[in-house]
Amino acid sequence: MATSPKELPLTLGQKVTTTIRGQRYDIHIRGWCVNQYIITDGPLVNGEPIRLAPHTGCDVHFIREGEFVTFKTNVMFVSPHVVTLMILEYPRSFDKTNLRKTERLKASFPMSYTLTVANQVFTETGIIRDLSYTGALITHKKPLQKDNKILLSASLDSGMIENIDTVVQNVRHNPKSEKEPYVTGVKFANLAEPNRAVLQKFIENRIELRQKVLI
């Protein structure tokens, strides 16, 4: 849902991603004036600033305090001097999605988990079927029980998540599947910063793709 530009949650030095002419660049916010302009680093390729004509369109998005923020704007100009800066038109509106409350996103990634019982460590494998900022739905062969604590690892298309502290919320049996007959909902109890970054990137990419489909 579009939101008033006066509420755009910008922070000095904040890292954002901009897409210009189909290419993505990671840049930082260097200043702004509400309803007038936003100053960022100039996008670079091999250390050299790219050439952009005035009014070149671009998309900007970033994650701040668990919210995915995105807006469309235009380049006013790029200053390629001692410090390369880009001046953007201040957006008329922006969209904001709460990642902690967003629905789980469909997925299909091999995963593994470890479970400790009576000082014995068991490692099992399965598939992540959907994923969110706070948890996942997994399918697997061996049964788990509610409140079991496991360490979950998986290779996502945004990178590797490793040994996430995870608590089993619910388990159901799917007799139609012989290979992975158990379907389990899990909640992430704690996210180390590397895992958080990979997970946020995964969600960010999926939301961005979904928005492109809707346009």
Q: Closest Cα partner for 20 from 48, 50, 58?
A: 58
Q: Where in the chain is the domain with CATH 2.40.10.220?
A: 105-212
pTM: 0.63
CATH 2.40.10.220 fits 105-212, yes or no: yes
What's the gap between Cα 66 and its chain centre? 9
DSSP code per residue over 8-65: ----TT-EEEEEETTEEEEEEEEEEETTTEEEEEPPEETTEEPP--TT-EEEEEEEET
pLDDT in tens, the chain (215 residues): 556 666 899 999 999 999 999 898 999 999 999 999 999 999 988 888 888 899 999 999 988 777 788 899 999 988 877 788 999 999 999 988 776 666 678 899 999 999 998 889 999 999 999 998 889 999 999 999 999 999 999 999 999 999 999 999 999 998 888 889 999 999 999 889 999 889 988 987 887 776 665 44
Q: Any idea what DSSP says for residue 77?
A: E
For the domain made up of 2-98, give the CATH fold: Pnp Oxidase; Chain A (2.30.110)
Q: Where in the chain is the domain with CATH 2.30.110.10?
A: 2-98
Cα–Cα distance, 1 to 76 (Å, whole number) = 26
CB-count exposure of residue 81 (10 Å: 0-12, 13-18, 19+)? exposed
